[in-house]
Amino acid sequence: MYSVIPYQAAYALSVSQIFHEAIHAIDDLQYSPAHKAAWSAKPRSSYHWHKRLSRSRAWIVVDTSQIVAGRPKCCGFINLETRFYSLGYIDSLYVHPEHQGNGLARALYEGLELWAKDRGYPELSVDASILSKEVFLSYGFKVKHRSYQEKLGQVIMGFLMSKSL
């Protein structure tokens, strides 16, 4: 049984592992091994992820039927920037490869959208990867333009997308 809950510091290491494993599970035809290594050479520290998620509004999805280290297993996460200069920007949406295809990304996104609407956010935006572009289109986002991020000498293509709320 899955449940979406607010992010907690105890899950920072799980978030790091999910991010890294989700990146490296991408088919090499979508993003090359060099792109994936630049995107996530190795799992980042739990300190990094806790700091990143604590400075935004973040949720995780847990599997309550699997207990790891005394708490439900984390299977995915999403976070939304809440500061003025990036208000409404979805920074991350990742689901562990073993749990993809079970509606977890949608559950995370729907919780985020409801939270944003309740607070009067006029718009959400995201830099979607080639893979997540279709996911965000299914949530009603529109492509504004292609986007490019340089990471460790690799240029990774994506799409800047937005949705009015």
Q: Average pLDDT for residues 75-101, to the nearest whole number? A: 94
Specify if 145 maps to a domain: no
The CATH number covering residue 11 comes to 3.40.630.30
pLDDT tens digits, 36-81: 999 999 999 999 999 999 999 999 999 999 999 999 999 999 999 9
Specify if 111 maps to a domain: yes
Specify if 141 maps to a domain: no
Task: Give the count of beta carbons closer than 10 Å to the beta carbon of residue 144.
Answer: 11
Structural domains in the chain (count): 1
The enclosing H or E element of 61 equals strand 57-68
Specify if 10 maps to a domain: yes
pLDDT tens digits, 2-37: 999 999 999 999 999 999 999 999 999 989 999 999
CA distances from 119 to 26, 80, 128, 136, 154 (A): 34, 13, 23, 21, 37
Chain-centre distance of CA 139, in angstroms? Answer: 14
Record the tokens describing residue 107, joined without a space: 């559950």
Look up the domain containing 12 and give its range. Answer: 2-121
Helix (H, G, I), strand (E, B) or coil at 136: helix
Q: Does the pLDDT at position 85 exceed 80? A: no
The per-residue pLDDT for 28 is: 92
Specify if 59 maps to a domain: yes
Task: Give the count of beta carbons closer than 10 Å to the beta carbon of residue 118.
Answer: 8
Per DSSP, 84 falls in state: G
Q: What percent of the chain has pLDDT over 70?
A: 100
Q: Which of 21, 27, 59 is nearest to 40 (CA)?
A: 21
Specify if 35 maps to a domain: yes
Specify if 157 maps to a domain: no
Q: Average pLDDT for residues 81-105, to the nearest whole number? A: 93
Specify if 87 maps to a domain: yes
